[in-house]
Structure 1
Amino acid sequence: MTATEPGTGERELDPRALEELVGQVISDAGGALTLPLALLGDRLGLFVSLASAGPATAAELAERTGLTERYLREWLLAMAAAGYVTYQGGEPGAEDPDSARSARYGLSPEQTEAFTNPESPGYVVGAFQNLTAATRMLDRLTEAFRTGDGIGWHEQHPDMFEGTERFFRPGYLANLTSMWIPALTGVEDQLKGGARVADVGCGLGASTIIMAQAYPASSFVGVDYHEPSLALATERAGAAGVSDRVQFRIAGAADLDGTYDFIAFFDCLHDMPDPLSALRAARAALAEHGRVMLVEPMSWDSVADVLNPLGKLLAGASLLICLPSGLSAPPATGMGNQAGPARTRQLALQAGFADARVATSTDFNLVYELRP
């Protein structure tokens, strides 16, 4: 049997390469099933129960939670196979100590941190929620391939909005005020002294609230077009005790009013159907001494550089979430999250900024500083 390899003509099928590919698909399929099952564990409080009350058999976990033992037995087995809970051996004295019925499971310190501590930079539960929500749009996306239509952010499953905040908030807690803002020219001093700040595409307000807590002398306006998200953002600002210096306003990214010393876009510019107009509006609203910060997912300028495990995740998320959003309204720019630094900087210059540079980065984000 032969197969055609682009650019090289025909070659013999390599059985070992085929075996590796099938193995990769099996691994990917297992991961695809693990995420929604882990989301069940989050929704039902199973990770929290194992963390707070200690290891348990399925029967003990059922007694703690009021849930059905048979389902919990299968969930624990699946999570242990995935490495999300830790199998600790059979129940002492059990008739069949190796059976799933008598098996005892717990959480390691690392599993506890990743699955139960929302203040940790290692907290990953948001990925369970927003990536599972993304797959709910598969029928719509199938049709979009035929029509070229987009899928608006507001059309996503409700889990997308909360899951996205839970996914990004740990990174903001770990980096926003300790690394990203200090990397910008003069911005930290302005915020400490008192500045007017706009957070464009603020969603549920995590980034706005973190900045307001760190810089109490400044005032903050969170802007987003998704009204249900802003309702939650307002509640959370109140709970965080920053309502006196934070307000949220329903508006599009191109509808900034007034003048701001600092304007931030957190993981949202690439989702916008008209990112150029959004940046032009930011440029028009920016004070002479001001700065714009773009926090964007890690991206690369060449296809070859995207071919890595993080690129696999980001390109997949781009196709399921970011690109459809960017094609959902005129002019349907459709950046996607892999626009790359060169295109992102070019867009900023086209919007009227004098300079655009990558100020700093993490494993997952690029942080741009735009200067008027």
Structure 2
Amino acid sequence: METTTIDETALQAFVLKAVDDLAAGYLGVMVSIGSRLGLYRALAESGRLTSAELARRTDCAERYVRDWLSSQAAAGYLVYHPEEQTFELTPEQALVLADESSAVYLPPAWNVPAAMWSDEAKALHSFRTGEGIAWGDHDPRLAHGTAAFYRNGYRASLTSEWLPALDGVVAALERGIAVADVGAGHGHTTVLMAEAFPNSRFHGYDSHVPSVSEARRNAREAGLEERAVFTQVHADEYEQRGFGLICFFDALHDMGDPLAVLRHAEKALTADGTLLLVEPNAADRLEDNLTVVGQTYYAASSMICTAHSLYDGGELVLGAQAGPARLTAVLNDAGFSRVRIVAETPFNLIIEAKR
């Protein structure tokens, strides 16, 4: 039998990397607990606190809070001051962990891996059989975590950067047009646009009934239920009513037949209408996506995006890292001859498509 020589230095380096990733899994649970109990918020509002002071302010048991604080300090999520035995949340940490309106607020994102763990048995079955998993068949934390994670990023960029980057779209929205938000989920993007452009009407479409209900609630709370209307329907079955703008926000790659969906959208647009496609940021080659963001998206794709696409028919399974060349080719096949990337973030490509 052949013997393999082990490089002990390489082995130890990889073990340390794996342990670091394992610690990140533990950390995610702590972040979720800290967010839900208001521990981060209390620290952000009060400055340096001892474990006893934080426990009193949040009505929690001190002994649990003490270990939670220690875990956060060890992870670099809090600053520990040993001379006072106090813990502090820096302004930068507060933006990420305590400020729910911040564009970089992240605690809800940990609901997604929690849902993935909960759905492991379904994923094992799908990996072995090739069957899909419907979006609605996942742990409910998936929908809520995904919506909350993306909401603030959209709030920071959608109306201030992405829409102005499109040719003539802001002027049209200000005059008043019909807008479709396909795969609208909880409706955050639809509501954001409706708030910004009172002369236009917005129609959100999604096939997931609980998400449509949540979207209607969000529109009602914003006082926009008359101009932001949500309908439960498949992405290639909504009424073609002459839209000046049709949007897909991190949704197209989840669909079983994105080409049919885009062809339906092309027919639903007015002659001078625009399609806005927001997709996960990716390069065209796998070797250029071997990053932390790529790691995250490929993992989510295997259990969520690809799984739903296969459930939804699997005619063309784009996955969460399709890349601009593949997305452009699908848009071209659907009848959009003018395609350009108008903006990008570490997480998203923002693409304009016209006939």
Scaled by the length of structure 2, the TM-score of the pair is 0.94
Q: Which of 317, 323, 330 is the aligned partner of 2:300?
A: 317
> C-alpha separation between the residues in 2 aligned to 1:36 and 1:199?
33
Q: 1:292 corresponds to which residue?
A: 275
Q: Which of 67, 83, 88 is the aligned partner of 1:74?
A: 67
Does residue 199 in structure 1 map to residue 181 in structure 2?
yes
Checking the alignment, whether the CA contact within 8 Å between 1:86 and 1:105 is kept in structure 2 is yes
> C-alpha separation between the residues in 2 aligned to 1:303 and 1:130?
23
- 1:334 match: secondary structure: coil
CA shift, 1:186, in A, is 1.4
- 2:105 match: secondary structure: coil
Q: 1:29 corresponds to which residue?
A: 22
Describe how 1:335-354 pairs up with structure 2 within 5 A: 335-354=318-337
Does residue 281 in structure 1 map to residue 264 in structure 2?
yes
> C-alpha separation between the residues in 2 aligned to 1:167 and 1:251?
24
Does residue 250 in structure 1 map to residue 232 in structure 2?
yes
CA shift, 1:155, in A, is 1.1
- 1:330 match: secondary structure: coil
Structure 1 stretches of 4+ with a deviation exceeding 6 A read: none
CA deviation map 1:58-94 (0-9, x unaligned)? 2222222222222222211111111122212254xxx
What amino acid does structure 2 have at the position aligned with 1:302? R
Q: 1:100 corresponds to which residue?
A: none
CA shift, 1:172, in A, is 0.9
- 2:82 match: secondary structure: strand
- 2:173 match: secondary structure: helix
Checking the alignment, whether the CA contact within 8 Å between 1:324 and 1:334 is kept in structure 2 is no
Q: Which of 49, 73, 76 is the aligned partner of 2:42?
A: 49
CA shift, 1:135, in A, is 2.3
What amino acid does structure 1 have at the position aligned with 2:215? A
> C-alpha separation between the residues in 2 aligned to 1:226 and 1:148?
22
Describe how 1:31-180 pairs up with structure 2 within 5 A: 31-91=24-84, 103-180=85-162
> C-alpha separation between the residues in 1 aligned to 2:258 and 2:117?
25
Checking the alignment, whether the CA contact within 8 Å between 1:36 and 1:129 is kept in structure 2 is no
Q: 1:7 corresponds to which residue?
A: none
Gapped runs of 5+ residues in structure 2? none
- 1:264 match: secondary structure: strand
Q: Which of 261, 266, 269 is the aligned partner of 2:249?
A: 266
Does residue 213 in structure 1 map to residue 200 in structure 2?
no
Checking the alignment, whether the CA contact within 8 Å between 2:110 and 2:145 is kept in structure 1 is yes
What amino acid does structure 2 have at the position aligned with 1:81? A
Change (3 A) 1:320 1:82: farther
Point out the more displaced range, 191-200 or 154-163.
Answer: 154-163
Scaled by the length of structure 1, the TM-score of the pair is 0.90
Q: 2:221 corresponds to which residue?
A: 239
Gapped runs of 5+ residues in structure 1? 4-11, 92-102
